[in-house]
Structure 1
Amino acid sequence: MPDDFNLKSFLADLPHLPGVYRHLDAEGTVLYVGKARDLKKRVSSYFQKTPSSPRIAHMVARVERLEVTITRSEAEALLLENNLIKRLKPRYNILFRDDKSYPYLMFSGHQTPRIAYYRGSTSGKGRFFGPYPNAWAVRETIQILQRVFRLRTCEDSVFANRSRPCLLYQIGRCSAPCVNLISAEDYQADVDRAIQFLDGRANEVMRDIEQRMHQASEALEFEKAAVLRDQVAALAKVLQQQSMEKVGNDDVDVIAVAAAGGRICVNLAMVRGGRHLGDKPFFPTHTLDDNPTDVLAAFVAQHYLDNAMPAVLVCSHVLPDPDLIKLLAEQTGTKARVLVRPQGLRKIWLEQAVKNAELALARLLTESSARVARTMALATALDMDTDEAALDVMHIECFDISHTAGEATQASCVVYKHHDMQPSLYRRYNIAGITPGDDYAAMRQVLTRRFSRVADGQAEMPSVVLIDGGKGQVEVARQVFVELGLDAHTIVGVAKGEGRKVGLETLVFVDGRESVALGIESAALMLVAQIRDEAHRFAITGMRAQRAKARNVSRLEEIEGIGAKRRQKLLARFGGFTGVVDASVDDLRSVEGISDELAERIYQALR
């Protein structure tokens, strides 16, 4: 402990109040964040008894200072604890990736609602259903609603400008409210039935459709009766498919924890309105020596402070803190029932979730071993440190330049770290002020922009800087690093082989080492090729998007009679260039300032 910090005095002065405590090391880095109903009892326990796990024992041995924050309640402490964990990512806390943005199915607030896939805040206009575990589950549900209730999925800008029904009407997936082939009242009734279906009241919907079908038949409205008959058949097929997985109308989350090979998987299966929507695995970090119950508690606390908690939680293990659900209820307003020994179908769901957790964990361990082996192979080929700690923090950045005959030049930077690609750290750079097609100047510009921040101490220096190119590109990189005062030994060029054949690439260095041809069977080359190809893909997609944007605007500008104001009106009316291309002559004619002749000219020019 530092001289200015007296642990005994600090513990003696702690109050018997709720709050959050933080363990810090000699550098002031937060090692661990925790909450307590009674700060004095909880914090003192770390230094008065044997720690609960080797991980906690290792953490306590490094503690040099403690800080506490008193809160008004334990529930408030829970919220503050998790906010600090997400922000600080302490080394000894169990951490889950902060990617819990789940997709929803949305009914828009439009007068004629559309159904759509949605991510984001659910506080806006419209009706939201979910969350769903993945995008596939949302899209499958949308397809069901289209088959049964024939609801629209088109954007409002497209809906407002249709002059004839689209293909979805032709194949029986939409009732074409855009061109009034169904009345607004009847369409809204179909929307209401779809909402009933999602609320778990499918049998009521079935009875209602059957009753209307018989009424239409008795009134000799046979065409209407046939449409309703098809709805009944489609809904019956859906209900038959779901009959084996439906119990009640509850919203249920099934949480299963599995441990193997020093890693833990938390598998979350979602049931909404009695329908099993699928599951999603999570792999927390900092869980060495932790038992599944502690991991379960960490997941429940972190997950349900950010996401709606359903009425029922089915868990594979008992929560160690019986008051956790009560604390979450105070924060979220939802009090859930926790089942650990479920019966009937919920028991089957839990068994499936446990099995899926075990399979996901086995797959992760297999993939992780292969990734670690490839990282080690590359480190060996580059004469770098190959101990476990060094491999875990090995940080590779790869740069590539992409353009089409000098047009829309872009540079990409992709990142490989912790034995995997890190898309959240990718960056694109628009290149300007160079001679079109000058790849050397483009590389110089992107490296100068990226590594000026390293030289200024504002960014981390990678372990390896991969350059997609041979000696020329590597020399440019060396010059930039020398000018910035950085270690040029980290630069490695990836030169293409004869005929650009895969497996004939060589690694080019700037420190006098001979070029290395790894060979097609090399695990190191597989990793280098993966990183380089990802950089190339990322650069090309950005370049194409930039080029398309520039070309699309210019295509409109090239049409005689289309100036800035008319172009802006067209793009606004049809929701972008694609909408203008898809518009008919009549649609174009309806835009203010577009004459019959000009509409025809635009239509022909874009085809």
Structure 2
Amino acid sequence: MKPLEHIQNILARLPNKPGIYKHFDAEGTIIYVGKAKDLKKRVSSYFNRKNYENGKTRLLVRKIADIQWIVTPTEQDALLLENNLIKEHWPVYNILLKDDKTFPYIVIKKERFPRVFSTRSVMNDGGEYFGPFTSIRSMRTVLDLCQKLYPIRSCSLSLTEKNIAGDKFRVCLEYHVGNCLGPCVGHQSVDDYDLSIQSIRHVLKGNLNVVRKVLKSQMNLAVKNLAFEKAEGLKSKLNSLDKYQAKSTVVHPKIDGVDVFTIVGDDSFAYVNCLLIVSGAIIRGSSFEVKRKLGQTNAEMLEASIPLIREKFNSTSREIFTSILVNVALGNVTFSIPVKGDKKRLVEMSEQNARLYMKDRQRHQEQIDPEAALERLMDTMKSDLRLKSQPRHIECFDNSNLQGTNPTSACVVFRNGKPFKRDYRHFNIKTVEGPDDYASMKEAVYRRYDRLYKESGEEGLPQLIIIDGGKGQVSHAMEAVEELHLRGKVAVVGIAKRLE
């Protein structure tokens, strides 16, 4: 396949979802990493000459030989993942994020009368780190909120019991303006201060219901007192809290040295996704297509794939998260299936990418070998619906009426997976009075197959009849089939709403 055709095929398969994309040159080297709110729109824009903003973009596009992508839950997650991958691979065309800066965190220091402040360095010092924050304004709003709701110290004094008892310090301006309760001079006990820290910890973890109630109460009081500017400020803080609550699943400082493996598949292939997490950040994400052997389960295929993929990426992680139970002996490596929290969300993110990769490969297969793709679809339907043969001929029925009158029914036909409009039929219901959907369905099915069977015999019958309706519509359609003595000669299924 020519390079241009290869790129065009990739652009056609890109999803309309947030995520990151990687451009590769002809040697397989990553030359650019970017993030997008809509991957399809953003990546496609590179190949629209009107969007060439400068010479760098034109030169980049000329060197693109391949494109890969990773889907993320949100655009903020994409921004964080983009930052991680740029710092891991240092692509030559990335200039905006190519520095030593990282996104900021909020830390609660491990010390007597702990301080709470922002930092860009996550250290192994026993402190609790929360973040990262992609919005500096959001981070500062949370810090400001914590300070106003739970006054704590901002100084770096050594508040040992001896120093406080020795009357070594004096209160500062922060105490006089109400931002601190004066633990440095013994005006606040350790226990009382720790209660404030515990409340701040809840805020930073996203347990915001209590805080939200307080803010709403203060906002309503401000409105009642006609203090509209104060009320607007409190409303802004509520919005910032909502923004903070949607915290990132891409980076978590406490998840380190972990591989994530998930698998999905069809009858012929399995699709494995792998995420490598180092120092709390995803540094690599890749998906693979694996040919399924006869009778091989997803668990067996994942067990065979994990050692090979880890060897390919030189992974030395001692912990592996999976979506299904596997039995793999890898020395002192531990396996687990997360059930909640950020670990669970990482597995869900990996599984989403595996499913998107499967759909992408299936669409690609349809383009290069449509008959094989149709065969796979027919086999899947035959297996899932427990049919005697492939449903090469399918007919679908649906009813309608005009405000309870003039009932009609329509039949659409598919042959070999494609609409066969020549055989479409429309029925004006003759024997039913009023809005009786069940009886209307029975009449339409009876009339269709009474005539079809008389004209063409069993060879003219479809392998599958699909009824747009629940148990009632399907049972009346079956009554028509039985009256025509066609039971066992054609399969009937219904497509109902969830509660039917």
TM-score scaled by structure 2? Answer: 0.29
TM-score scaled by structure 1? Answer: 0.25
Name the structure with the higher helix share.
Answer: 1
